[in-house]
Structure 1
């Protein structure tokens, strides 16, 4: 079973980025060339960028009519300069909502790591891109960092809401995004791991309770909060704040919490917000 700590130690020993260690690991495991893997990841990045742009327009509506247009509202407020949380966080919120809305409206997205959590990683990546003026090459490398952490999350725990609750979807996405953000901002492999741990710890225990069984309420808005948490975790790690609990132990803990979580709170729409009076009414009215 992989451990993030092993990759961190290897990266630190060789004086290279975490993404470079992960890329070499995948070249050997998948028996593909570096160029081939880069091309595939570049294609993923392009889809992410297109889904952000499509969602920010705000014209899409889901079949239920429950989702669509919120990303454009946040983006409009940001452009007016009236954001309460500043341009970067406001922009990340808008981007995360945009991608999640595109998913709910049956548009093309990258599941990162799942469709329900697809807005977190692109929102964080493109926010850091705007802030730090990084290159396309660096963005693609950062995707390898996120993907590597995603593999560890899948092996040691789960990224499925049906298996581990929303902590396994939005929580994993936030951890992946936080690690990628730190690398993009010039942080060390250790800081990337700390950021992932801080982000994941902030999402432990989050239940999966989709109203009507759709990936719409509260899923879309959780993408936005996940992106904000990822950026907060990255900022702390880059400032030298460490995680007292190592990332691998945090991941293992998430997996254990998922096993202890009742089925009603794991994507069945039999608990949480799904069974509130309003949740039941929405299901009856729209589904």
Structure 2
């Protein structure tokens, strides 16, 4: 890729008069040695999977194998249909869709890891709800996925996207930043505004630990996806309004690396700390261990 930082990415877009999504499409095609049409077609397939996961999560009410989670996306969607939610209908849909996709993941369904399975609901929640809100064609959202990919590329190469390495700030935080930056561009914002959206989003999740109860990507992961989708909408709105990330977004990514590196192992996907080690968290883990079939002698 011709960029390593968000600043370089925005500068390239400004110099060449391109969107982040358009520039990343060209970069990805060149990197993979395929045509832009083929690269776009592959990404369109990923977006189709995202939309399928939203629908499956709402229509089929998947339940995880542990039985801990399932049906919350559907509950949220039903709540929206009963009246005006506190967060507004668009944010409410983004939340419901993010929960639904995360539940499909927990039930071993088909999802797109964006950037990880543990944060898979945020971008679909934001993108599919936005598409319904504005009536955008699929092609516009596919270009948005390239924009999100460019942002994720920078984060992954300068910090973490794995909870085991950097805590949930690396998984859910990165997904929120990717969704916020891409949505800013989809709504007509400049590459510079999109970059500010990333910084605004990431600052809100710095230090977030990864503490899955019983070591499963279910509690509190799924709820964090739902709330993360709403955070992404808010960060995009701030950027579009002209709010800037006073600390440059690349520096925020550097801070995420610093915090993640200093984070105790107990708070990095080991289930040895945080919510996983509350009395209820330990009780759930013990119950699930006892429910497992005993190996035959």
Bucket of the pairwise TM-score, normalised by the shorter protein: over 0.9
CA RMSD, aligned part only? 1.1
Aligned to 1:157: 159
Preserved CA contact (<8 Å) 1:208 1:267:
yes
The count of residues paired between Structure 1 and Structure 2 equals: 287
Gaps of 5+ in 1: none
1:221 paired to 2:223? yes
- Correspondent of 2:118 among 110, 116, 123: 116
1:34 paired to 2:36? yes
Preserved CA contact (<8 Å) 1:132 1:185:
no
Preserved CA contact (<8 Å) 1:7 1:22:
no
Aligned to 1:75: 77
SS at match of 1:113: coil
Q: Which moved more, 1:247-256 or 1:211-220?
A: 247-256
Preserved CA contact (<8 Å) 1:58 1:68:
no
TM-score normalized with structure 1 length? 0.98
Distance 1:127 1:63 in 2: 28
- Correspondent of 2:176 among 166, 174, 177: 174
Distance 2:52 2:121 in 1: 12
SS at match of 1:141: helix
SS at match of 1:169: helix
1:14 paired to 2:39? no
Aligned to 1:3: 5
Q: Which has the larger radius of gyration?
A: 2
Preserved CA contact (<8 Å) 1:55 1:102:
yes
Distance 1:125 1:60 in 2: 21
Q: Which moved more, 1:57-66 or 1:268-277?
A: 57-66
Following superposition, the deviation at residue 43 of structure 1 comes to: 0.6
Q: Give per-residue Cα distances to partners, 1:249-282, cap 9 Å, x unaligned.
A: 1111111110000000000000000000000011
Preserved CA contact (<8 Å) 1:92 1:123:
yes
- Correspondent of 1:53 among 27, 52, 55: 55
Distance 1:96 1:262 in 2: 28
Distance 1:3 1:29 in 2: 17
Aligned to 1:196: 198
Q: Which moved more, 1:8-17 or 1:229-238?
A: 8-17
Q: Give per-residue Cα distances to partners, 1:1-29, cap 9 Å, x unaligned.
A: 71111110111122221111112222222
TM-score normalized with structure 2 length? 0.94
Distance 1:10 1:265 in 2: 37
- Correspondent of 1:90 among 89, 92, 96: 92
Distance 1:90 1:231 in 2: 11
